[in-house]
């Protein structure tokens, strides 16, 4: 599926090449190899990557270059990953983040 949201791939820049299989919130899909995770999700039509912890406002990538931190996702079990800076890999598991990210080794309600 081509991106239907704010960002779209420039046709002249679309690369010929392989593809990789990833899972987005448990849903299997195939995306072009070489894309960043953020670009791959946008091409799949994603419009919400996370919700803010306090107000629950939806967020999605803004800068696509590692500055704004609006593209945070859980990637292969690592919360708060900047998806615009990480290239998709075959077998990658990607999850949207709702609210505060869980940190490895912490139980819910535990003080940091």
Burial (Cβ within 10 Å: 0-12, 13-18, ≥19) of residue 34: middle
DSSP H or E run through 43 = helix 37-43
Residue selected from 22, 35, 46, 70 as contacting ligand FES according to rule CB under 6 A: 70
Site string for ligand FES, 20-59 (x = CB under 6 A): ------------------x---------------------
Span from 6-14, 15-23, 26-34, 65-73 in contact with ligand FES (CB under 6 A)? 65-73
Q: Residue 73 forms beta bridges with which residues?
A: 81
Taking the complex as a whole, how short is the minimal distance between the CB of residue 85 and ligand FES, in angstroms?
7
78 contacts ligand FES (rule: CB under 6 A): no
Q: Smaller CB distance to ligand FES: residue 20 or 49?
A: 49
74/77 Cα distance (integer angstroms): 6
Q: Smaller CB distance to ligand FES: residue 47 or 106?
A: 47
Long-range contacts of 63-71 (CB under 8 A, 24+ apart): 64/7, 64/36, 64/38, 64/39, 71/38
């Amino acid at each position: 599926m081509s991106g239907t949201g704010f960002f779209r791939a420039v046709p002249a820049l679309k690369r010929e090449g392989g593809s990789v299989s990833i899972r987005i919130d448990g849903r299997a899909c195939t995306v072009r190899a070489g894309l960043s995770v953020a670009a791959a999700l946008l091409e799949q039509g994603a419009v919400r990557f996370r919700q803010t912890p306090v107000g629950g406002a939806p967020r999605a990538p803004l800068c696509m270059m590692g500055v704004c931190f609006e593209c945070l996702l859980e990637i292969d079990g690592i919360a708060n990953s900047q998806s615009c800076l990480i290239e998709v890999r075959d077998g990658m598991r990607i999850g949207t983040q709702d609210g505060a990210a869980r940190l490895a080794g912490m139980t819910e309600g535990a003080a940091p």
